[in-house]
Amino acid sequence: MHKGFLIIAAVLGALAVTLGAFGAHKLKELVPPETVSTFQTGVTYQFYHTFALLAVGILFSQFPAGAGLLEWAGRCFFIGVILFSGSLYVLTMIKATETVGLSKIGIVTPIGGLFFIAGWICLLLALLKK
């Protein structure tokens, strides 16, 4: 098993629950409904990829031939969470605080999505490796 990925997954999971609760109970008082939806998308994708990272950490012992690709899958999932979900959280914060000048942060979101896709492809290739 890859203990580092398991630890990161545990932290991301706890953070996703915390952010999800905040989004469900307090955020709607601060921002319009479409912004709450944006925030919730970040939480949802963070959760999905927390479980993906957990799976990668567990699969290390089962697929030693694919360890390098599994390493990249885990890295991509983590970077994807930071860029994709993180940018959506920042966009929500900008909306809530009416901050100006950072609205271009949304360009980072699809880059995070590409890291998610790369992570899934690396995971697939690792599992197919003999």
The pair of structure tokens assigned to 84 is: 């994709």
* Chain mean pLDDT for the chain: 93
Half-sphere exposure in the Cβ direction for 87 (13 Å, CA): 17
The pair of structure tokens assigned to 12 is: 């991301």
Which residue carries 């957990």 as its tokens?
54
Answer whether residue 99 shows pLDDT above 80: no
Residue-wise pLDDT tens digits, 22-57: 999 999 888 989 899 999 999 999 999 999 999 999
pTM: 0.93
Question: In whole angstroms, what is the distance from residue 59 CA to residue 14 CA?
Answer: 21
What is the pLDDT, as a whole number, of residue 97? 84
What is the pLDDT, as a whole number, of residue 27? 93
In percent, how much of the chain has pLDDT > 90? 78
Answer whether residue 1 shows pLDDT above 80: no
| pLDDT-derived band at 103, boundaries 50, 70, 90 | low
Over range 93-107, report the average pLDDT: 79
